[in-house]
Structure 1
Amino acid sequence: MRGGKYIAECDPTQETSKSLAEMMIGTNLTTPRHDDGSKRGPVRLKVHNLSLDSHEQFGIDLNLINFDVRGGEVMGIAGVAGNGQVELLEVLSGEMLCDEAEHLLLEGTPIGKLNPTERRELGIAFVPEDRLGHGSVPDMSLTDNAFLSSYGQKKLISNGLINHKKSTQYAEEIVAKFDVRTAGVTHTASSLSGGNLQKFIVGREMLQDPKLIIIAHPTWGVDAGAAAAIHQAIIDLAENGAAVLVVSQDLDELFAISNRIAVIAEGRLSVSRDIKEISIEQIGLLMGGTEGSGSQKEAQSVA
């Protein structure tokens, strides 16, 4: 079924995952077009010797995290849930502050003590894991949700007042470019399905043309067609010069879009490896912690 209508029937033993997905979404699926990473620019984000105690009772402490992300590339971080991803995302977004500002550098500028708003003003965008309540305010309209994280970059304030016309136009642009299925931008975030809300939040952050974007689980809960579109949008954003950091448990996703991959396990991050130099089996071993974290080697490699 598709859109409430009977479409077709088939023998699943005679079909592939791709052909079944194409029946479900009503269009052809395309594999994301990926460059070889040869156009990588200077380092945008550098994380240096980051250690941080979790504020959650059952959280994971971060231990000597070291990595960098360059303009023009997508870096993926893989890992089994509950190995420090939440804490790493919080410290990168500014929800948790570093002990020393120099643990995080954006184009050489220490940002470890800056709050989320100050980091956004420097050109950082962020797609959180929890889209309803963290990435959006459920009872606010799509227009207001578009405004919340974009008013600075998109200049949605005029003379100290919200420019409702520009905010509405921006929300409509997101809906159009990311195929968000909604009755209108005056409707609330909670009125959208999970997949459509995910597309809206991803689009809202990407259309700000960030220097650096940090994305947690970019295609969680979206259909195969939307996932392919989001993957291509991530790759296109990197090819236009942005630095992209993706945290995901989906290894197929990370291998489809990343130039480099590192693995987080028990609060430690492995050495990042070029996508052509590592296999899913090696990633699996690192996720299980059987090959060690490589934190000290990574520290030397990015020093």
Structure 2
Amino acid sequence: MPEPQTARLQLTGITKAYPGCLANDRIDLSIQAGEIHALLGENGAGKSTLMKIIYGVTQPDAGRICWEGQPVIMRDPAQARDRGIGMVFQHFSLFETLSVAENIALALGTGAGTPRQLEPKIREVSQRYGMPLEPQRLVHSLSIGERQRVEIVRCLMQDIKLLILDEPTSVLTPQEADDLFVVLRRLAAEGCSILFISHKLNEVRALCESATVLRGGRVSGDCVPAQCTDLDLARLMVGDAEGLEAEYPKARGGTPFLRVDSLSWHNADPFGVSLQDLMLEVCAGEIVGIAGVAGNGQDELLALLSGEQRLSRQQGQHIRFLDAPVAHLRPDARRRHGMTFVPAERLGHGAVPELSLADNALLTGFQQDGMVRGGLIRHSRVEAFARRIIETFAVKTPSSHTPARSLSGGNLQKFILGREILQQPKLLIAAHPTWGVDVGAAAAIHRALIELRDAGAAILVISEDLEELFQISDRIAALSHGRLSALRATRETSPTDVGRWMAGQFDQPTPTAA
């Protein structure tokens, strides 16, 4: 009989507790060389804590880690990297003021060479794996999707034996995800083990050979994803799968609330995207979806719509809300008109990590419920608003005093979206509303958006998740190189059509800016 293969990574009885929370409860996990293994679970199930223990960021309270058959203690990420473990975090761990090459050089250490010396290899590796990067670009100028590429390429430049990917496709188009899967299968064929965390169950079934499912910090089951349906996996993750496969009726919008008319904007950033003659209309009682590959003008459009980037008063007519020019107004003035915003980046943009949930509720909700009177904050009103968000949107948190950074990605996203929805906006603009959240939280977010639509609000959703856009959008368009396709009714188009638009193949010529 052949001897059993020694697991590359073996976790036994891993336990980690925080005040008021048992994050990991006696978890066992085994990964073989060359295996693509999924780790599934709803937000707050303990996945991120377990990954941080493997990567040396966090130390377990109990349990044992064996690496290639030998007991080890992962004291810090540097030791994990020396053993050949690389990790791509869901929330990026990049220095925004440094270049791509400088960030990668910091991760690889002094022995790998200077940033300039690494530039040819960065270009070569990123091109080989279909994730092209310009090494000299500053990270703050990159889109979310491009920052994800930096994280992945940074790992691929190491001598990787185990690659941990936490929601790697959350901001990728289906085509980009397929390209990434080609890379991952090639790495696995070369003997690299891959631990894959994703809430996109169809991807897990297509890519992963085995899966471990966590629920409430414990292992709730192991399975072969290819032998399961999405609903089977969802039941293992959340127990009750009711509402997870909802189909929402399409709506026809009423009065136009938001009009973007011949909007052209030159981006002074040489690595940014300029917008060319955009035409867009979002009506009361409808959801309009904007698709596009990351880095095609989504960030620039969001900045112009939210007021983070303003135009002159003379250009104000290019963006009109309730038939009044708003392109010159600040974000707070636009909010007073009835506009609310969910930005693409949760931590640092949608919420201040160090502040409590109550204080984060105040940041954009200060005009609601008399929270500020005579220049003074009425803390009881702020607390009540934060508690209402937590209760209405089932945010898992000990209290409204909990810092935003301590919440799981899905729970923080529900809090941010709830904060904006409960302000009863006339127009909600949301970027990547379900990025990195589990199937249960995504279903709850979709239901909330549909309810807001049915209450008469206009909603604009910008996302790279085509499946999501087709599920909730009434009309859809796509951005490509700063140009916007014509809007089409979702029921009258297909993902293939939108894929062509995303590549710049519009159904009809789009006029260029003068």
TM-score by length of 1: 0.94
Deviation at 1:33, TM superposition (A): 4.7
Q: Do residues 6 (structure 1) and 193 (structure 2) align?
A: no
Q: Of Structure 1 and Structure 2, which has the larger fraction of its residues in strand?
A: 2
Q: 1:119-162: per-residue Cα shift (whole Å, max 9, x none)? A: 00100000000111111111111001001101113321123211
Distance of 1:29 and 1:55 partners within structure 2? 49
Q: Which amino acid aligns with 2:249?
A: D
Partner of 1:18: 231
Distance of 1:3 and 1:245 partners within structure 2? 34
Q: Does the Cα contact within 8 Å between 1:265 and 1:293 map onto a contact in 2? A: no
Q: Pick from 72, 84, 106: which aligns with 2:285?
A: 72
Q: Does the Cα contact within 8 Å between 1:141 and 1:189 map onto a contact in 2? A: yes
Q: Pick from 452, 458, 472: which aligns with 1:237?
A: 452
- SS, match of residue 218 in structure 2: coil
Q: Does the Cα contact within 8 Å between 1:121 and 1:153 map onto a contact in 2? A: no
Q: Does the Cα contact within 8 Å between 2:485 and 2:506 map onto a contact in 1? A: no
TM-score by length of 2: 0.56
Deviation at 1:294, TM superposition (A): 4.3
Q: Do residues 160 (structure 1) and 372 (structure 2) align?
A: no
Aligned CA distance change for structure 1 residues 162 and 274 (closer, same or farther; 3 Å): same
Deviation at 1:36, TM superposition (A): 2.8
Q: Pick from 64, 68, 88: which aligns with 2:301?
A: 88
Distance of 1:288 and 1:29 partners within structure 2? 36
RMSD: 1.7
Aligned length: 297
Q: Does the Cα contact within 8 Å between 1:269 and 1:294 map onto a contact in 2? A: no
- SS, match of residue 112 in structure 1: coil
Deviation at 1:11, TM superposition (A): 4.1
Aligned CA distance change for structure 1 residues 8 and 141 (closer, same or farther; 3 Å): same
Q: Which has the larger radius of gyration?
A: 2
Q: Pick from 423, 427, 434: which aligns with 1:208?
A: 423
Q: 1:148-205: per-residue Cα shift (whole Å, max 9, x none)? A: 1011133211232111001001101111111111111111111112221111101100
- SS, match of residue 434 in structure 2: coil
Q: Do residues 118 (structure 1) and 118 (structure 2) align?
A: no
Q: Which amino acid aligns with 2:219?
A: Y
Gaps of at least 5 residues in structure 1 are: none
Partner of 1:169: 384
| Higher normalized contact order (CA 8 Å, seq sep 6+, divided by chain length) | 1
Q: 1:48-95: per-residue Cα shift (whole Å, max 9, x none)? A: 000011243311000000010000000000000000000000000001
Deviation at 1:293, TM superposition (A): 6.8
Aligned CA distance change for structure 1 residues 249 and 293 (closer, same or farther; 3 Å): farther
Q: Pick from 462, 475, 478: which aligns with 1:260?
A: 475
49-58 or 241-250: bigger deviation:
49-58
Distance of 2:482 and 2:460 partners within structure 1? 17
Q: Does the Cα contact within 8 Å between 1:29 and 1:225 map onto a contact in 2? A: no
Aligned CA distance change for structure 1 residues 216 and 130 (closer, same or farther; 3 Å): same
Q: Which amino acid aligns with 2:278?
A: I
19-28 or 83-92: bigger deviation:
19-28
Distance of 2:450 and 2:382 partners within structure 1? 26
Q: Do residues 49 (structure 1) and 262 (structure 2) align?
A: yes
Q: Pick from 497, 504, 510: which aligns with 1:282?
A: 497
Q: Do residues 37 (structure 1) and 255 (structure 2) align?
A: no
Deviation at 1:29, TM superposition (A): 4.1
Identity of aligned residues (%): 46
